[in-house]
Structure 1
């Protein structure tokens, strides 16, 4: 490693990389403070869909039975109230295509009325709805016609997208077409929804659907903002993922949506635990969100950025490293504000998630501001974590203070920025 340092120094000088600023800057007026959740993960009472079938089939990803998740379907009013009490002004949720269109050409008016009331209650709480049209889930009848391998699904999805955008036009909603398209494909491959040689076709069809959907939403809801949030992966993996989707839709985005959870550096290779689904074993790297934001602003200088998801998994509510959810929240916001101090245009931050939920096969990995013991508590009581007060206080203050000192030290030799390899390794 000692021989590598001089070479890195030359590379850094050639690239002309600048130093990071010393302080965070407060969030500007109009900043979107938000929380996120997703239909299948939270609603319960799941209709026929690809994911309901995966649960019933017991594919390799399924560790726990689905039950009825945290029953957002019937508790949405109280959950939206919890969000209001946090002080957030943005509420992200997904409309489940499988719920509102259980058969081709057939619309379920009862379920549409449910989403009408979700939107109404979000707006009554002075929150902007951020509506995700597809969060990894599609109807069972779409599965039967070949899923996203069949180009017919693009046509069907656009009919659905037009119907929902028309229903909620003029409300100032933010629109997400597809949640984490590359992860969507990964889940479909993992669960057998698409074969290895069909994955490219699925992505081509997702790209086509987003591009056309962007135009459809703007047609029926003029002035709205539309995007698709990408799952940030540590370099060099992100480059390959972006080539598959983001780079193919870059001219059809009103903002770049980023989901940041994990980083990678020479002193933190724990992201490997993600391959086994043991996400709580990954050591958080809060400063990585700074590098992610800087990189995407460099790639898309004409677009603002939005942290659509950021959060931390625990192992049934605990972490072996003792890192608290409140510290994780504040540390990441500190680095978001540091990026903004350098001119990165971040317009919003959503915490994932409002409550614990069904983490695509199990309830062990918990991400909620409010914890819910689905497997042991029939009442599904929402119990606040320490991050509830921390988020409320931070929102009220407009961000963490300029002199905030992160609990988690910056990583050393971050793969996303070679400058950090020249610093002294931090004492941990």
Structure 2
């Protein structure tokens, strides 16, 4: 997840969305009671291979880092590669039911047609540890990283990329389908495309259609091997412009999604208000955070795909290098407020199936260790032991899971923001209020 793409969105990528603004509020959606999410709700945590594993082989992203000397060096990241057992134990102690990881193609196939048995054995052990801890693995096939030899062939511009990708991923599916994982085919495809355009000069339209092709093809293959599988591709939700940004993708893959995977992080900043700001965001921690926006994200896809299960595959709040946010909003407050709005969504008839917190630990945020999302802080730059230090959200999440949500009488610590700052036009047309 998260990336400079979010800052691009906030600083003008979707300025055209201002045309959608509806002044004021047409009417207010009826306030409803907020029940708990239930024993069958799938609480989870999320991580990605490249961002957390370390010991990373040659790939498009190791090359991008090398080409950008102003970025943090990856190093061993938070060394999930050697610490996965203890990290999985931390997740188990939270009580989560799902642990999301990425399976790195660059690690599995370091040279064309050459498969690394030790790399497969590593993922065998990780997945077995997740299952032994009583959790279900959620496996991401492509979290923006492909082998360096594939980059030499042209990446997603290369005519053979689709066939190479499918060959590799069918091998992954064959090996791990017996573990009954939940599958994420391609992580945040539009953000993936933005990065590839910026770093590799990729043709965006070509990549969009090839990503859709590999998703649709591997979806069918997964269901041949694992008939009752749950397969999704998570979209990085863009408040105020979701239809424009992710609509073309969803028109290509929407028919082959067992659940709608949504990553939700930030609200919307209208261009007229952004123009009055002292300056553009310096990092993700400066982007607007409005917990109630997750309700509108779920509402958007509940309307597009009536009755289809909805899954928050990623959600969290960034802070700057472990420092408190300038607005005083804490990770635990944001988590509780978010869960409140999840409960509101479910109470209002949206088929919310699960929620993954991004992320279990801090990790490498695509060029920098400054943005921190982890339930557990890891001070990569200053602590050679890479100790996992619990934030205030650890106890909060454990309590939420134990009680299937926040209490019925809970009120968000921050009231809903001006509708123009959340997800217009929906947030202004039919705003929801805390009772």
Task: Tell me the SS of whatever aligns to 1:54.
Answer: helix
Task: Tell me the SS of whatever aligns to 1:170.
Answer: helix
Task: Tell me the SS of whatever aligns to 1:48.
Answer: coil
- Choose the corresponding residue for 2:97, options 70, 89, 93: 89
Q: Does the alignment pair 1:252 with 2:256?
A: yes
Matches within 5 A, 1:43-122: 43-58=53-68, 62-122=70-130
Post-superposition shift, 1:66?
1.0
CA contact (8 A) 1:372 1:381 kept: yes
Distance in 2 between residues matched to 1:294 and 1:187, nearest whole Å: 28
Post-superposition shift, 1:309?
0.2
Distance in 2 between residues matched to 1:376 and 1:69, nearest whole Å: 12
Comparing 75-84 and 409-418, the one that deviates more:
409-418
**Aligned counterpart, 2:423:** 416
Post-superposition shift, 1:216?
1.0
Q: Does the alignment pair 1:181 with 2:174?
A: no
**Aligned counterpart, 2:7:** none
Distance in 2 between residues matched to 1:52 and 1:156, nearest whole Å: 20
Residues 345 and 140 (structure 1), Cα distance of their counterparts in 2 relative to 1, 3 Å cut: same
**Aligned counterpart, 1:208:** 213
Q: How many residues align?
A: 408
Matches within 5 A, 1:170-249: 170-191=178-199, 193-195=200-202, 198-236=203-241, 238-249=242-253
**Aligned counterpart, 1:25:** 35
User: C-alpha deviations, 1:93-139, integer Å up to 9, x for none?
Assistant: 00000001111111100010000000000000110100000001011
Post-superposition shift, 1:235?
1.5
CA contact (8 A) 1:273 1:281 kept: no
Post-superposition shift, 1:242?
2.0
- Choose the corresponding residue for 1:149, options 128, 153, 157: 157
TM-score for both structures, normalised by structure 1: 0.90
Distance in 2 between residues matched to 1:178 and 1:8, nearest whole Å: 37
**Aligned counterpart, 1:285:** 290
User: C-alpha deviations, 1:241-273, integer Å up to 9, x for none?
Assistant: 223312210101000000000012669967999
Task: Tell me the SS of whatever aligns to 1:320.
Answer: coil
Post-superposition shift, 1:21?
2.5
Q: Does the alignment pair 1:39 with 2:49?
A: yes
Residues 56 and 231 (structure 1), Cα distance of their counterparts in 2 relative to 1, 3 Å cut: same
Q: Does the alignment pair 1:387 with 2:397?
A: no
Deviation beyond 4 Å, 4+ runs, structure 1: 265-277, 417-424
Post-superposition shift, 1:199?
1.2
Distance in 2 between residues matched to 1:110 and 1:57, nearest whole Å: 29
CA RMSD, aligned part only? 2.4
CA contact (8 A) 1:21 1:341 kept: no
Post-superposition shift, 1:34?
0.2
CA contact (8 A) 1:412 1:423 kept: no
What residue ranges of structure 2 are gaps of 5+ in the alignment? 1-21
Matches within 5 A, 1:304-383: 304-318=309-323, 319-383=325-389
Residues 54 and 273 (structure 1), Cα distance of their counterparts in 2 relative to 1, 3 Å cut: farther
CA contact (8 A) 1:270 1:283 kept: no
Task: Tell me the SS of whatever aligns to 2:261.
Answer: strand
Distance in 2 between residues matched to 1:49 and 1:351, nearest whole Å: 27
CA contact (8 A) 1:229 1:257 kept: yes
Distance in 1 between residues matched to 2:308 and 2:427, nearest whole Å: 27
**Aligned counterpart, 2:5:** none
User: C-alpha deviations, 1:39-89, integer Å up to 9, x for none?
Assistant: 010000110000001111226xx5211111000000000000000001101
User: C-alpha deviations, 1:290-340, integer Å up to 9, x for none?
Assistant: 011011100011411000000011011121111110001111111111010
1 or 2 for the larger relative contact order (CA 8 Å, sep ≥6)?
2
Task: Tell me the SS of whatever aligns to 1:168.
Answer: helix
Residues 416 and 276 (structure 1), Cα distance of their counterparts in 2 relative to 1, 3 Å cut: closer
Residues 68 and 230 (structure 1), Cα distance of their counterparts in 2 relative to 1, 3 Å cut: same
- Choose the corresponding residue for 2:142, options 124, 131, 134: 134
User: C-alpha deviations, 1:380-415, integer Å up to 9, x for none?
Assistant: 000000000000001000001111111122011246
**Aligned counterpart, 1:4:** none
Residues 275 and 200 (structure 1), Cα distance of their counterparts in 2 relative to 1, 3 Å cut: farther
Matches within 5 A, 1:266-277: none
